[in-house]
Amino acid sequence: MAWQLTEDVETFHSTAGEFLRSRPIEHTNLLTLVETLRNDLHSYGSPAPIFGWWSTPAGQVAAVLLQAPPYPVIFSELPPRAVSAAVEALGGRPLPGANLPASVVDGFLAGWRSRTGVRTHVVRRVGLYRLASLVLPATPPPGSARYAGPDDVDLVEGWLRAFHDEVGERRPTSVPYEGTVLWDDGRNAVSMAIRSRPAAGTVRIQRVYTPPVQRGRGYAGAVTIASVQAAQADGARDVVLNTDLANPTSNALYQRLGFRPVEERVIVEFTA
pLDDT at 17: 97
pLDDT at 248: 94
Does residue 234 sit within a domain? yes
6, burial (CB in 10 Å: exposed 0-12, middle 13-18, buried 19+): middle
pLDDT at 217: 95
Task: Tell which phi-psi region holds residue 52, choosing left (phi > 0), alpha (psi between -120 and 50) or beta.
Answer: beta
Does residue 267 sit within a domain? no
Q: Is residue 177 domain-shared with residue 253, that is, in the same domain?
A: yes
**Torsion sign (Cα): 243, 105, 62, 85:** positive
The CA R_g of the chain, rounded to the nearest whole Å, is 19
Q: Is residue 107 domain-shared with residue 137, that is, in the same domain?
A: no
pTM for this prediction: 0.92
Please, are residues 125 and 261 in contact by the beta-carbon 8 Å criterion?
no
CA-CA distance, 238 to 128, in Å (whole number)?
13
pLDDT at 172: 63
Domain span at residue 7?
Answer: 3-117
Q: Is residue 41 domain-shared with residue 160, that is, in the same domain?
A: no
Q: Is residue 176 domain-shared with residue 216, that is, in the same domain?
A: yes
Q: What is the CATH number of the domain that holds 172?
A: 3.40.630.30
Query: With b meaning 16 or more CB within 10 Å and e meaning fewer, what string describes 150-181?
Result: eebeeebeebbeebeeeeeeeeeeeebeebbb
pLDDT at 22: 96
CA-CA distance, 232 to 215, in Å (whole number)?
26
Does residue 10 sit within a domain? yes
Query: Looking at 117, 139, 172, which one is the last position of a domain?
Result: 117
Q: Is residue 63 domain-shared with residue 141, that is, in the same domain?
A: no
Q: Is residue 145 domain-shared with residue 90, that is, in the same domain?
A: no
pLDDT at 174: 58
CA-CA distance, 3 to 128, in Å (whole number)?
26
User: What is the DSSP secondary structure assignment for residue 21, as one 8-state letter?
Assistant: H
Determine the Cα angle at 211 with ends 209 and 215, to 5°.
90
Q: Is residue 106 domain-shared with residue 144, that is, in the same domain?
A: no
CA–CA distances in Å: residue 55 to residues 5, 15, 79, 104: 12, 10, 10, 17
Amino acid at 131: L
User: Which uninterrupted H or E stretch holds 111?
Assistant: helix 105-116
Mean pLDDT per 10-residue segment, the chain (272 residues): 93 98 96 92 87 95 95 96 95 93 96 95 96 94 94 92 83 66 95 94 95 95 97 96 94 96 97 89
Does residue 122 sit within a domain? no
pLDDT at 171: 64
- Residue 159 φ then ψ, to 5°: -65, -35
Q: Is residue 138 domain-shared with residue 241, that is, in the same domain?
A: yes
User: What is the DSSP secondary structure assignment for residue 152, as one 8-state letter?
Assistant: G
Q: Is residue 136 domain-shared with residue 106, that is, in the same domain?
A: no
Number of independent structural domains in the chain: 2
Alpha carbon dihedral 192, 197, 198, 200, in 10-degree steps, equals: -130
